[in-house]
Homo-oligomer: A and B are copies of this chain.
Amino acid sequence: MIRLIEELYPICRSITGNGVRQTLRILQRRIPLEVHEVPSGTKVFDWTVPKEWNIREAFIKNSRGEKIVAFAESNLHVVNYSVPFKGKLSLDQLKSHLFTLPDRPRWIPYRTSYYQETWGFCLSHEQLLQMEDGEYEVLIDASLEDGHLTYGEYYLPGQTSDEVLLSCHICHPSLCNDNLSGIALMVALAKHLNSSPRRYSYRFLFIPGTIGSITWLALNESRVSSIKHGLVIAGVGDKGTFTYKKSRRAQAEIDRVFNHVVGRSGDGSRIIDFFPYGYDERQFCSPGFNLPVGCAMRTPFGQYPEYHTSADNLDFVQPQYLADSFSKCLAVLQVLEENRMYLNLNPKCEPQLGRRGLYGTIGGQVDGKLRELAMLWVLNLSDGQHTLLDIAEKSGLAFDSIKNAADALLTHDLLKEIPV
């Protein structure tokens, strides 16, 4: 994951343009994702696919001709989606186009202006303070023209056509946690799932934020009914504890599974309620769709000072945090894969487990036998009303213990699977 992040870091991405295409080509070397191009002007619900933005060069030169701010040094220096501009301005005129973070004088902020045609530069506050009165030469050699919105999609078929949707945004330039971390984690999940047996089909979306999910939903409305579970992945590499934001449904199966997995982690991981702000779960969970899509993150967006600044760099994302996020997401997907409903075929009194070798033979011993307890829970609650997840929740035992108990009982024909 770290290597992929390092490779993607220098690229200037935006919601459209060649930076996205270059990013998706790099991902295609790892997973066979399909690249879609949607023309500018396409109507997608209340929105319109915007013009495509590309940038070649941008700088501010002082009166001595020195480049004091240069796109080549950091793609954060240019307000993303700035219109082309070339001209000379006094410092006063220029200042209304400059953005800094006075509280963090060495960091460059990240700003965008997707839907209002303007231009601007972001720079450190220290740089701003050093700018003297005088005339400045400004160049933004960019284009904003009819073109395409580009996104990547990878569909991994499983035993059923029921889908798990995984989505991350790919529209941020040189920012690591937000969201190269999400891109890298999703690629790692895709590779892992590709090599495992799967009940569900998986759809991985690598899309620009907001307009990307709106576009995908508008063009794929008929497929939405197949989505049984979904997850937006963003900001999963920082040192904060893992955070899961519930879907709008609040009690969707994926919400309950994250609650089970995260609740048992004992590492301070948190579950937070849905709110209609954040990443693309805003669109997936809009009332007209109301999909069971939550969001996996570590420190929530906007709650760490490095957020949307040049300090969200290669040092900010660390392998151990990415690995923890990966293992939690994978554990959740495994529970979703394995969650079933069974019916106890001997519902009147317990079946005689000892006769089947499923129970200790010398009775009266005090030691709580977890395996036996798990079997008794499965038998007691497999009444046609409880899934294995329900049983894990009610018993307080780990899903894996319950699943193993059910497997042992199935082997002895004490259960049969029934549809949920």
Contacts and interface: CB of A to CB of B under 8 A. Distances in A.
Interface of A: 44-47, 79-80, 99, 109-116, 118, 120, 210, 213-214, 217-218, 221, 248, 275-277, 282-283, 285-290, 302, 307-308, 344, 346-352, 354-355, 361-366, 368, 373, 376-377, 379-383, 395
B112 A364 contact: yes
20 contacts: A46-B350, A47-B349, A99-B362, A109-B364, A110-B364, A111-B363, A111-B364, A113-B363, A213-B349, A218-B349, A221-B348, A275-B373, A276-B377, A276-B379, A285-B380, A286-B347, A287-B379, A287-B380, A287-B381, A288-B346
A377 to B, nearest CB: 6
B347 A287 contact: yes
A286 B112 contact: no
Nearest to A348: B288
Contacts of A395: 275
Contacts of A210: 350
Nearest to A213: B349
B350 A286 contact: yes
Nearest to A343: B287
- Residue among A120, A248, A283, A364 with most chain B CB within 10 A: A364
The 4 closest A-B pairs by CB, nearest first: A288-B347, A288-B348, A276-B380, A287-B383
A221 B348 CA distance: 10
Nearest to A283: B349
Contacts of A365: 111, 308
A39 to B, nearest CB: 18
A214 B79 CA distance: 71
A12 to B, nearest CB: 15
Contacts of A285: 380
Contact of A111 (B44, B248, B362): B362
A93 B383 CA distance: 47
Contacts of A290: 383
A350 to B, nearest CB: 6
A140 to B, nearest CB: 16
Given A366-B307, A368-B302, A349 B79 contact: no
B288 A45 contact: no
A288 B351 CA distance: 12
Given A302-B368, A361-B113, A362-B111, A346 B46 contact: yes
Contacts of A80: 364
A46 B349 contact: yes
B361 A115 contact: yes
B47 A344 contact: no
Given A287-B382, A376-B282, A380-B248, A116 B364 contact: no
Contact of A214 (B286, B288, B344, B349): B349
